[in-house]
Amino acid sequence: MNENWIAPSILSANFAKLGEEVDNVLKAGADVVHFDVMDNHFVPNLTIGPLVCEALKKHGVTAPIDVHLMIEPVDRIIPDFAKAGADIITFHPEASVHIDRTLQLIKDNGCKAGLVFNPGTPLHYLDYVMDKLDMILLMSVNPGFGGQSFIPSSLDKLRQVRTRIDDSGLNIRLEIDGGVKTDNIRAIKEAGADTFVAGSAIFSQPDYKKVIDEMRAELAKAG
């Protein structure tokens, strides 16, 4: 695995040939598959569920599947995603009444667990659960759609979370999701992220390898 993970969001892939799209983006150098789950309730859009995750695994995808739950409630569906082959499951704290219990449920089902913060969600949800986290995901757009612009204040929030992770001494990945492009990925890295979701930036281009190579070249320049 690379130190910096590029995580293409399949939300922007061609769903009519999803298996092929995922194969191609992994062949192009992606590290993990970012799998956006929306319920038309927590967010105003409706996407894919455990059956599609299972289908990708059966298709032969061996890269980690990073399931981003934008659904409410979350607990009932977690065992289904674990059985379907999810490796990482993240959820929004507003969508669970019992955050600690939901994190433990994800771990009890054999997956890595993470919390997701919307642009307007305060970081205090981290206060008592750092030891249960494998990943912290900061949204740099309001969730629901691909192709939105990166919200600049996310950089300051990233720096705050990076400090919290480093102070904790724990092994927690810091993921950013929304509006990540070749021209801002370096600044995002410098603010502390190590896992980069990119949907439209990759899938809107004909050559996925070219975009991913350009992103890695930008990451290599980060100070």
The distance of closest approach from Cβ of residue 1 to ligand DX5 in the complex, given in angstroms and rounded to an integer, is: 20
Residue tagged active-site, from 87, 134, 177, 194: 177
| Binding flag, residue 177, Zn ion (CB under 5 A) | yes
- Ranked by CB distance to ligand DX5, the top (closest) residue is 199
The one-letter code for the residue type at 154 is S
Residues 156-185 that bind ligand DX5 (CB under 6 A): 177-180
Minimal distance, residue 176 CB to Zn ion, in Å: 10
Known active-site residue 166: no
Beta carbons of 175 and 137 less than 8 angstroms apart: yes
Whole-Å CA distances, 73 to 36, 44, 110, 127? 15, 15, 20, 22
**Among the listed residues 145, 203, 207, 179, the one whose alpha carbon sits nearest the alpha carbon of residue 16:** 203
What does the per-residue mask of binding to ligand DX5 show for 12-41, with x meaning CB under 6 A?
x---------------------x-x-----
Distance of alpha carbon 154 from alpha carbon 54, whole angstroms = 33
Partner from Zn ion, ligand DX5, none binding residue 85, C-beta < 5-8 Å depending on class: none
In whole angstroms, the minimum distance from the beta carbon of 94 to ligand DX5 comes to: 14
Residues 183-192 as b/e (b if ≥16 CB within 10 A, e otherwise) read ebbbebbbbb
Distance CA 102, CA 93 (A): 9
Whether 183 is a known active-site residue: answer: no
Q: β-strand 112-117 against 88-91: which pairing, if any?
A: parallel
Interface residues toward ligand DX5, by CB under 6 A: 9, 11-12, 34, 36, 68, 141, 143-144, 146-148, 177-180, 197-201
